[in-house]
Amino acid sequence: MVVLLSCLALIAIVVLVWLVLKSRNMHLWIISYARQQLTRPSKSFPDKHIYVCLADHHEPYLGNVDKEKAHSRVKRWLSNYPAVALKHTDSDGRHPQHSYFYPEEEYDEWVMEQIRTLCDAGLGDVDIHLHHDNDTAENLTQTLNNFKKLLHERHGFLRKNEAGEIVYGFIHGNWALDNSRPDGKWCGVDNEIEVLLNTGCVYDMTMPSAPSDTQTSTINSIYLAKEKGHCKSHNEGSTLKVGDSIHSDELLMIQGPLALDWNNRKLGLVPRIDAGEISYDAPPKERRLKLWEDCSVSVQGADEHIFIKLHTHGLDDDNSTMFFDKQGFETLWTALENRYKNQPGCSLHYVTAWEMYEKITALAEG
């Protein structure tokens, strides 16, 4: 009887743990996380470089608001962001860089011109964001080609490669890259990786998406994804190493940190997920820096270079309040500078998404 009760208790615990994991879609990545925790050696580098990129899903029309509301959000950003950003510098004397991943479906010429003023002041850059649903490869190809041409030719954003083709970085709306939602919503294109490559996309920063069910099993990595002819082709790929070349059929995936925060537990028991989001509900705190650093997102063989890609929805009203009225930016940048800029053996680098891509590819090329 005692043995039976013990077995039943063990089964109940296993079922409970599984239900907890399933409820947050942690079953998709927890094995990878556990493996990283067990196998990643603790390393000490005499000269550590920390690269920080804040990728903003910059959506003035978030919530389907009207133009007046959207423009008021942008004006608030314009009146507040430069003042706080110009107070801070990294180890190279550069101000924080903001990467505006702007949604194609929310294109507004006036908004783009306002962002242009910030970029011209050396405070950021623009790349492509997209929300779509029930789409086709043909329509997606046309959408991306038209938008990148519009951004480049009318506003001077993006850049051209050696072949003269406009290239860009990408973040998928609703996290549904490569039709990765189980219900097929918010995309519809099973060969989206192929479409992105064919339209000039050279890197993707969609991940991590936890606790979404679009989260990949590959975490805390910089890797190369290939089109596999089915949805969620980027679930796994080849880890980028020093000496690697990126081929035309490979999309560079630059992931942000994903970890369990045992210092922030639900009901005092279950650790919360930290996916590198900066928001009203997940404000920047100094203790989160070590969590992000310990994820060790890097090019294999150049592990002293650690890449921290954070993400936000900057124009969400609550988030803007956190950034400006509650000193969120001030807290974030002060903490980063105290930990990495002002300590021996460390260098802090504020970079745009494109600059992070350039540094990563340079390390891979040796």
Flag residues of the chain having pLDDT under 50.
5-19
Q: How far apart are CA 226 and CA 235, in angstroms?
A: 10
Which residue from 237, 240, 235, 236 is spatially nearest to 222, judged by alpha carbons?
Answer: 240
pLDDT at 39: 85
Whose structure tokens read 């925790």?
A: 37
Which residue from 202, 207, 199, 201 is spatially nearest to 234, judged by alpha carbons?
Answer: 207
Contacts 24+ apart (CB under 8 A), 151-159: 151/102, 151/112, 151/126, 154/109, 154/112, 155/112, 155/113, 155/116, 155/126, 156/116, 157/112, 157/116, 157/119, 157/125, 157/126, 158/126, 158/127, 158/128, 159/354
pLDDT at 6: 47
3-state SS, one letter per residue, for 60-101? CCCCCCCHHHHHHHHHHHHHHHHHHHCCCCCCCCCCCCEEEE
Q: Where are the domains of the chain?
A: 1-39, 46-364
Contacts 24+ apart (CB under 8 A), 354-357: 354/99, 354/125, 354/127, 354/159, 354/169, 355/53, 355/97, 355/125, 356/51, 356/53, 356/254, 356/307, 356/309, 357/169, 357/202, 357/203, 357/252, 357/254
Sign of dihedral through CA atoms 232, 40, 310, 347?
Answer: negative
Q: At what angle do helices 109-120 and 67-85 cross, to 10 degrees?
A: 0
Kindly tell me the burial class for residue 32, based on how many C-beta atoms sit within 10 Å of its own C-beta (0-12, 13-18, 19 or more).
Answer: middle
Given a contact cutoff of 8 angstroms between Cβ atoms, the answer to whether 213 and 28 are in contact is yes
Render pLDDT for 247-302 as a digit per residue (tens, 0 to 9): 999 999 999 999 999 998 887 778 999 999 999 999 999 999 999 999 999 999 99
pLDDT at 3: 52
Q: How far apart are CA 66 and CA 246, in angstroms?
A: 43
**Domain covering 46-364, topology:** 7-stranded beta/alpha barrel (3.20.110)
